[in-house]
């Protein structure tokens, strides 16, 4: 019965009940309504909703008591929104609040505000599909609504539907003026790894009008990710000058300096920005670990140590972080602590622990735990041996079945493809497959040499008919500086692990510098100068002593165990490169040569051999090192244009190409 037709006393009593409920006096309102003894007289629709609401608030009913007919009869939802929906949200009863809003939307269409709020609540409880469907429906009616468009992209990002989010962004013809919407547009492209698209969007923005530190940070991130380093630096530095700052901005500005610039400034600027970022957000694992890593790579090991220690404490299960911390400890001479940290890496990452055995054994040996180090390495050798095939040739042939599972950073393959010979007969897909096979083949060679000491001759059967040429070359090299030894400068290319064996086969008195720990108990390590368990000074002393004894000493000039190894620019990328070999050859008067094992046809192994210049009379070490480097790099560049199987594509020159 309509309220206007009720007797005055009943009408007043229901009005008093409604007023009490609207003031939050639930029991009083219900009691006032219940005190009426007129069975044929009931509350009006609005009051009926209020009475139901009061029972819900007192726990005497559930939100399912609110139905569409009830709300439609009341003709409004203000009471429900203020007295029920808002308190439910405040009490984190989000799904119940969403159910009430759904009822309102069905009863009082179009109810846009209720539908949008419900979408937000569904998003907060991760009911993404329903939230997205609601927002999409609303956008059909209000396609220019900024907040709806923002939610449309944001919800898809949160739901892991990055491709859809990116597609929506790319379909937008105009860049909106709303910073929050622009930010989620940038994020949608970044999450999809459409870095070129993100950078293009970033360059369309009027950065002078941006106020949001988060948006500013993502603009710098977009430019950095697309490798537009100069633009990222320019934008980031301009934002900082304007006082628009934040950890996202500092993190990516630092990375742009570090990855995109040359010389000492790259480290100084990167470190300075990261230090500010860490002060802004001390618990940001990414920045704390990155600061430690950059300091370590710049040779500031002691400054790096506390940041790496903090990063490990923040994320103890991350093997790479703990390994960096261990390497810092090792560089500072704390071998016992370094060994303990490397052991923890192995315990925490059993599936990838193989890559750490060399480090662990080396640190153990330096800490005086030599027998333990040898036992550890022996156990690892035995473990690997059990997985090797019965014959060398069978395993070599089987590598082709594994190439599709090999992960090589795309940047390395792109770089290698750009360096190929003009007459390369392969398309890109085949080129990549062969490059991956070469990567596997060299690692397989190492496994065979370390794990099948009694079957090493099987690998040697792949030596091509070049022994006489190698022997003649060695005679020439020795004749250039009799009695002063020979430096064979190699690189991380070709079948590099084949080299020492070939020299042994032809009876050349040789030693080789490598990261294999000297505790390895195989013939392969008898002539080793290990960088794993010796200091730089000890390695240098052993290197020079070997030359004095007229040995051939093999060293990869592009390799270094130290993360702070010097870099040079080569074919558009920074590569590690040490002048140690050149300067030692100058100091000792030794001859030197570029030497690299190479895969010939039919899986035969040969050598690229090129003499490097001798010092001229009166030539300074600096001038000679520069001339030697130019000759070495010419040889290396020519080698990289040979068959893709010879790229190796890991370590040394490949180290920083990612």
Query: 407 pLDDT band (50/70/90 cuts)?
Result: very high
Q: Which of 244, 260, 246, 251 is nearest to 285 (CA)?
A: 251
Distance between CA atoms of residues 55 and 70, nearest Å? 15
175, 182 contact by CB (below 8 A): yes
Q: What is the pLDDT of residue 457?
A: 86
Distance between CA atoms of residues 553 and 513, nearest Å? 7
Q: What 3 state SS string does 103-143 have? A: HHHHHCCCCHHHHHHHHHHHHHCCCHHHHHHHHHHHHHHCC
What average pLDDT does the segment 20-46 reach? 86
Using a pLDDT cut of 70, give the percent of the chain over it. 97
Distance between CA atoms of residues 238 and 242, nearest Å? 6
384, 447 contact by CB (below 8 A): yes
Query: 1 pLDDT band (50/70/90 cuts)?
Result: very low
Q: Is residue 370 over pLDDT 50?
A: yes
SS3 label, residue 556: strand
What average pLDDT does the segment 501-509 reach? 86
SS3 label, residue 251: helix
User: Cα 501–502–506 angle (5° rounding)?
Assistant: 115
323, 356 contact by CB (below 8 A): yes
Distance between CA atoms of residues 378 and 234, nearest Å? 53
Q: Is residue 620 over pLDDT 70?
A: yes
Q: For residue 463, what is the DSSP state?
A: B
Distance between CA atoms of residues 220 and 233, nearest Å? 7
What average pLDDT does the segment 592-617 reach? 94
SS3 label, residue 271: helix
Q: Is residue 513 over pLDDT 90?
A: yes
Report pLDDT digits (tens) over 326-343: 999 999 999 999 999 999
Report pLDDT digits (tens) over 143-165: 999 999 999 999 999 999 999 99
Q: What is the pLDDT of residue 293?
A: 95
Distance between CA atoms of residues 652 and 610, nearest Å? 20
Count Cα neighbours of 251 within 13 Å in the Cβ-side half-sphere: 22
Q: Is residue 6 over pLDDT 70?
A: no
285, 308 contact by CB (below 8 A): no
Distance between CA atoms of residues 30 and 26, nearest Å? 6
Mark 348-357 as b/e (b = at least 16 C-beta within 10 Å): ebeeebeebb
What average pLDDT does the segment 362-389 reach? 91
Q: What is the pLDDT of residue 586?
A: 97
213, 249 contact by CB (below 8 A): yes
The enclosing H or E element of 470 equals: helix 467-480
- Supply the mean pLDDT for the chain: 92
Domain boundaries along the sequence of the chain: 449-654
Distance between CA atoms of residues 87 and 58, nearest Å? 13
Q: Is residue 214 over pLDDT 70?
A: yes
- List of long-range contacts for 159-168, beta carbons under 8 Å, 24+ apart: 159/128, 159/129, 159/132, 161/128, 161/132, 162/188, 162/191, 162/192, 163/192, 165/191, 165/192, 166/191, 166/192, 166/194, 166/197
**Sequence-distant (≥ 6) Cβ neighbours of residue 607 within 8 angstroms:** 466, 469, 470, 499, 502, 595, 596, 597, 598
Q: Which of 199, 116, 110, 101 is nearest to 152 (CA)?
A: 116
Q: What is the pLDDT of residue 2?
A: 42
Distance between CA atoms of residues 629 and 586, nearest Å? 13
Q: What is the pLDDT of residue 658?
A: 80
């Amino acid at each position: 019965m309509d309220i206007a037709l009720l007797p005055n006393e009943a009408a007043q009593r229901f009005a008093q009940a409604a007023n009490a409920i609207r003031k939050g006096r639930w029991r009083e309102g219900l009691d006032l309504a219940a005190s009426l003894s007129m069975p044929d007289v009931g509350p009006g629709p609005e009051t009926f909703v209020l009475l139901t609401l009061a029972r819900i608030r007192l726990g005497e009913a559930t939100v399912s008591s609110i139905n569409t007919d009830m709300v439609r009869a009341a003709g409004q939802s203000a009471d429900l929104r203020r007295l029920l929906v808002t308190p439910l949200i405040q009490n984190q009863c989000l799904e119940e609040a969403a159910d009430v809003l759904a009822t309102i939307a069905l009863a009082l269409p179009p109810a846009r505000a209720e539908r949008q709020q419900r979408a937000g609540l569904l998003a907060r409880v991760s009911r993404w599909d329903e939230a997205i469907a609601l927002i999409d429906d609303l956008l059909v009616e209000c396609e220019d609504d900024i907040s709806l468009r923002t939610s449309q992209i944001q919800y898809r990002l949160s739901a892991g539907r990055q491709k859809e989010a990116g597609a929506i962004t790319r379909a937008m013809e105009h860049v909106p003026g709303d910073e929050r919407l622009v930010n989620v547009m940038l994020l949608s492209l970044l999450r999809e790894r459409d870095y070129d698209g993100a950078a293009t969007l970033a360059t369309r923005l009027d950065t002078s009008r941006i106020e949001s530190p988060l948006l500013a940070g993502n603009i710098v991130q977009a430019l950095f990710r697309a490798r537009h380093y100069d633009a990222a630096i320019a934008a980031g530095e301009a934002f900082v000058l304007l006082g628009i700052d934040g950890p996202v901005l500092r993190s990516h500005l630092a990375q742009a300096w570090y990855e995109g610039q040359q010389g000492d400034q790259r480290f100084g600027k990167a470190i300075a920005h990261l230090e500010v970022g860490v002060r802004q957000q001390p618990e940001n694992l990414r920045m704390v670990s990155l600061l430690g890593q950059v300091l370590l790579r710049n040779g500031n090991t002691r400054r790096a140590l506390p940041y790496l220690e903090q990063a490990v404490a923040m994320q103890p299960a991350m093997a790479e972080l703990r390994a960096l911390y261990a390497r810092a400890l090792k560089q500072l001479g704390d071998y016992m602590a370094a060994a303990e940290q490397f052991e923890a890496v192995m315990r925490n990452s059993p599936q990838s622990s193989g890559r750490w055995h060399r480090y662990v054994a080396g640190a153990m040996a330096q800490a005086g735990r030599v027998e333990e180090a040898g036992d550890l390495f022996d156990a690892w050798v035995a473990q690997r041996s059990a997985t090797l095939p019965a014959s060398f040739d069978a395993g070599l042939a089987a590598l082709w079945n594994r190439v599709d599972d090999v992960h090589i950073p795309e940047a390395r393959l792109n770089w290698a493809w750009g360096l190929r010979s003009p007459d390369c007969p392969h398309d890109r897909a085949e080129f990549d497959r062969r490059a991956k096979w070469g990567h596997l083949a060299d690692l397989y060679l190492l496994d065979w040499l370390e794990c099948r000491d009694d079957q090493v001759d099987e690998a040697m059967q792949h030596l091509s008919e070049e022994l006489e040429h190698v022997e003649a070359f060695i005679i020439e090299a020795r004749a250039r500086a009799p009695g002063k030894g020979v430096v064979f400068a190699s690189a991380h290319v070709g079948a590099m692990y084949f080299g020492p064996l070939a020299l042994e086969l032809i009876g050349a008195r040789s030693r080789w510098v490598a990261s294999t720990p000297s505790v390895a108990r195989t013939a392969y390590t008898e002539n080793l100068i290990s960088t794993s368990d010796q200091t730089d000074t000890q390695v240098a002393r052993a290197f020079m002593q070997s030359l004095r004894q007229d040995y051939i000493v093999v060293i990869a000039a592009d390799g270094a165990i130290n993360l702070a190894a010097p870099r040079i620019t080569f074919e558009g990328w920074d590569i590690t490169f040490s002048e140690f070999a050149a300067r030692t050859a100058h100091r000792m008067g030794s001859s030197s040569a570029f030497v690299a094992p190479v895969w010939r046809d039919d899986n035969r192994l040969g050598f690229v051999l090129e003499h490097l210049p001798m010092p001229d009379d009166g030539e300074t070490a600096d001038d000679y090192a520069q001339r030697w480097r130019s000759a070495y790099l010419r040889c290396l560049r020519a080698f990289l244009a040979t068959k893709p199987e010879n790229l190796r594509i890991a370590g040394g020159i490949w180290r920083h190409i990612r």
